[in-house]
């Protein structure tokens, strides 16, 4: 018997494959009829725990396990009722592209092939979108957490010089410090830790009531650090904060970064793609002056997970941070080993999948005008939710609605506990799934309208359910 892993009967595999594809398209088409999420029963959770499978199994039986034990218990972010955290809904064209990518099984670390040309094309599109030059570089990564880390590493190498790749940060005379707002995502802090600079070297600058960084406090912090002999090297601006979607004054930050000789990185995890929406793009003014931008196609771009991206204004600086010669990665001017520089010269990953294909398909199939209109529509739905909340005295808006995120709560005694319970009840109810966050006033129910399938009726259902659950809690508290 051959140990080749291809099927003995291709016709059989083909029929099974067509069934799987049809089932998955059915699932997406009818996802609204399902619960957003449901708790995983103990027996299902335990059913996957088995010894390493030594013997083969039929594809059809493995698929049955998937259908029965995995598919019904997914996160639910394809569902229109999903409003938690910042999750995109994916899109069918992206799903099909992901299948094609798996078929090609391309490794985009390097070498001379069209999949890499496609990644370069997406980078050119992003350079066009953000007004970056042709010499800009772009790289797909898992997500913005990773893109932000790479941004910090490039800024560090820029500040200390390429020789610091040999000496390491401990050898340096300079004590580097970075700045971002108190509303920044926790991955910036982590990036400082991973980069060896330490989170104590990150200044979390206070924000105004709209969660935008306070430039006066920022300038003061920089002045104090300089006075005390530290070296400001990096400013991270926010284009859409995770809690409420706030956008910093990026023109002002670009100016401060330039005057202070700091690298200007923008965390645009979801907000950067607001650039595609004509009504929102002006609010990102200044982003074109960034040295680097982190963004996710898998959020507002609706590309299936994962598809994070880093765009760097000066591709040379980007490469200077990561490129490393190795005999076994020798470049040629002809043959498969041509085409240098390779994506592996721009980041730590050598083996890399074909994330560019599902992104390219999504952008080509829907077009950026339609994607921009969809992004605007999610913000309009958020404003509708805001209006519904303001119309009900039992509900309290907890933060301004800047983009597509609405933070509110049921107004009652012991509000933190009650609202956390309401959210858990909603998750288990299966109609809508918001998340929570902690703001100055306490715990908030947080609805982030990222999914292109979410409609006004979904946020109205959220309001109705919060009111019903809140009233039930109040009635229970009255008799208890
Ligand atoms: C502003 C911001 N930055 C960074 C991240 C992290 O992105 P990812 O989950 O793709 O790593 C998020 C995630 O929601 C975010 O909202």
Q: Which of 181, 242, 297 to mutate to test the pocket of ligand 1 (most atoms within 8 A of CB)?
A: 242
Q: Distance from the CA of 345 to the center of ligand 1, in angstroms?
A: 24
pLDDT tens-digit profile of 269-309?
A: 999 999 999 999 999 999 999 999 999 999 999 999 999 99
| Among 31-45, 143-157, 163-177, the least confident range | 163-177
What's the pLDDT at 476? 87
Q: Check residue 173 and give its pLDDT.
A: 67
| Span from the CA of 31 to the centroid of ligand 1 (angstroms) | 25
Return the ∠ at Cα 146 (arms to 135 and 352), rounded to 5°.
75
How much is the pLDDT for 116? 98
Per-residue pLDDT of 195-247, as tens digits, reads 999 999 999 999 999 999 999 999 999 999 999 999 999 999 999 999 999 99
CA–centroid distance, residue 185 to ligand 1 (Å) = 7
How many CB atoms are closer than 10 A to CB 464? 14
Supply the DSSP symbol for 13.
H
Q: Considering just the CA atoms, what is the radius of gyration of the chain in Å?
A: 24
Q: How far is the CA of 295 from the centre of ligand 1 (A)?
A: 8
Residues having CB within 6 Å of any atom of ligand 1: 86, 143-145, 185, 187, 240-242, 267, 269-270, 296, 308
Find the 266 Cα to ligand 1 centroid distance in Å. 12
Query: Which ligand 1 atom is nearest residue 268's CA?
Result: 1
- The mean of the pLDDT values for the chain is 97
Q: For residue 166, how far is its CA from the centre of ligand 1 (angstroms)?
A: 31
What is the band of 2 on the pLDDT scale with cuts at 50, 70, 90? confident
Q: Token pair of 449, please?
A: 């309208």
Nearest-atom number in ligand 1 for the CA of 270 is: 16
Nearest atom within ligand 1 for CA of residue 146: 11
- Rounded CA-CA distance 261/58 in Å is 61
Tell the residue nearest (CA) to atom 16 of ligand 1. Answer: 242
Ligand 1 pocket, mutate which of 82, 88, 185 (most atoms under 8 A from CB):
185
User: How far is 36 from 50, CA to CA, in rounded Å?
Assistant: 28
User: Ligand 1: which of 143, 186, 243 to mutate, most ligand atoms within 8 Å of CB?
Assistant: 143
Which positions ≥6 away from 478 have C-beta within 8 Å? Answer: none
Ligand 1: distance of its center to the CA of 144 in Å? Answer: 5
**CA angle in degrees (0–180, nearest 5) for 148-150-152:** 70
Q: 98 or 475: whose pLDDT is higher?
A: 98
What is the mean predicted confidence (pLDDT) over 181-203?
97
State the closest ligand 1 atom to the C-alpha of 296, by its place in the atom list counted from 1: 10
The CB-side HSE value for 92 (13 A sphere, CA atoms) comes to 12
Work out the pLDDT band at 477, boundaries 50, 70, 90.
confident
Q: How confident is the model at residue 135 (pLDDT cuts 50, 70, 90)?
A: very high
Which whole number is the average pLDDT over 250-266? 98
- Burial class from Cβ neighbours inside 10 Å (0-12, 13-18, 19+) for residue 109 reads middle
- CA of 130 from ligand 1 middle (Å) equals 19
Cα separation, 47 vs 27, in Å, equals: 23
Token pair, residue 39, equals: 């708790």
Residue 479 binned pLDDT confidence (cut-offs 50, 70, 90)? confident
Q: CB–CB of 297/303 below 8 Å?
A: yes
220 Cα to the center of ligand 1, angstroms: 28
pLDDT value for 478? 82
Mean pLDDT to the nearest integer, 388-412: 98
Q: Average pLDDT for residues 49-60, to the nearest whole number?
A: 97
- The pLDDT-based confidence of 463 (bands split at 50, 70, 90) is very high
Given a cut of 70, is residue 190 above it in pLDDT? yes
At 172, is the pLDDT very low, low, confident or very high (cuts 50, 70, 90)?
low
pLDDT, mean of residues 356-365? 98
Work out the burial of residue 406: count CB atoms within 10 Å of its CB; fewer than 13 is exposed, 13-18 middle, 19 or more buried: buried
| The pLDDT of residue 480 | 76
Q: Which of 148, 187, 309 maximizes ligand 1 atoms within 8 Å of its Cβ, making it the mutation to test the pocket?
A: 187
The reported pLDDT for the residue numbered 175 is 93
Residue 156: per-residue pLDDT: 97
DSSP helix, strand, coil percent of the chain (3-state; round to 5): 50, 15, 35
- For a ligand 1 pocket test, name from 269, 403, 451 the mutation site with the most ligand atoms within 8 angstroms of its C-beta: 269
Tell which atom from ligand 1 comes closest to the C-alpha of 143.
10
Specify the pTM. 0.97
Strand partners, 410: 395
Residue 92 Cα to ligand 1 midpoint, Å, equals 23
């Amino acid at each position: 018997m051959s140990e080749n892993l291809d099927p003995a009967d291709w016709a059989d595999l083909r029929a099974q494959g067509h069934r799987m594809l049809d089932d998955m398209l059915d699932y997406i088409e009818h996802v609204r009829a399902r619960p957003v999420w449901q708790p995983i029963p103990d027996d299902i959770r335990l059913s996957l725990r088995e010894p390493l499978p030594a013997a083969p199994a039929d594809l059809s039986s493995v698929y049955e396990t998937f259908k029965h034990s995995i598919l019904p218990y997914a996160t639910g972010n394809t569902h229109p009722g999903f409003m938690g955290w910042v999750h995109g809904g994916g899109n069918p064209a992206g799903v099909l592209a992901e299948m094609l990518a798996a078929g090609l099984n391309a490794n985009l670390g390097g070498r001379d092939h069209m999949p890499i040309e496609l990644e370069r094309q997406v980078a050119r599109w992003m350079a066009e979108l953000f007004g970056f030059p042709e010499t800009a570089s772009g790289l797909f990564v898992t997500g913005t957490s990773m893109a932000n880390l790479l941004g910090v590493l490039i800024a560090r190498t820029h500040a200390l010089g390429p020789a610091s790749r040999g000496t390491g940060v401990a050898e340096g005379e300079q004590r580097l410090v970075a700045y971002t707002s108190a509303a920044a995502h926790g991955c910036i802090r982590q990036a400082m830790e991973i980069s060896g600079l330490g989170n104590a070297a990150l200044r979390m600058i206070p924000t105004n009531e709209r969660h935008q960084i306070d430039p006066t406090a920022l300038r003061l912090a920089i002045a104090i650090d300089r006075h005390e002999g530290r070296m400001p090297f990096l400013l991270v601006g926010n284009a859409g904060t995770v809690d409420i979607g706030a956008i910093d004054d990026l023109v002002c930050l670009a100016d401060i970064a330039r005057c202070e000789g700091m690298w200007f990185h923008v965390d645009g995890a979801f907000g950067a793609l607001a650039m595609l929406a004509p009504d929102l793009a002006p609010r990102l003014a200044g982003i074109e002056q960034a040295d680097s931008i982190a963004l996710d196609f898998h959020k507002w771009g609706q590309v299936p997970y994962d598809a994070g991206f880093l765009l760097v204004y000066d591709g040379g600086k980007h490469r200077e941070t990561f490129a490393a010669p190795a005999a076994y990665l020798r470049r040629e001017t002809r043959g498969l080993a041509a085409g240098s520089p390779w994506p592996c010269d721009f980041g730590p990953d050598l083996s890399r999948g074909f994330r560019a294909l599902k992104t390219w398909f999504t952008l080509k199939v829907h077009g950026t005008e339609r994607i921009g209109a969809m992004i605007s529509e999610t913000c309009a739905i958020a404003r509708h939710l805001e209006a519904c909340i303001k119309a009900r005295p039992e509900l309290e808006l907890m933060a301004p609605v800047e983009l597509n995120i609405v933070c509110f709560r049921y107004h009652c005694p012991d509000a933190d506990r009650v609202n956390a319970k309401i959210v858990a009840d909603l998750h288990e109810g299966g109609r809508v799934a918001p998340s929570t966050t902690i703001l100055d006033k306490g715990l908030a129910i947080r609805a982030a309208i990222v999914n292109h399938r979410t409609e006004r009726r979904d946020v109205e259902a959220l309001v109705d359910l919060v009111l019903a659950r809140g009233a039930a809690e109040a009635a229970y508290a009255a008799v208890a």
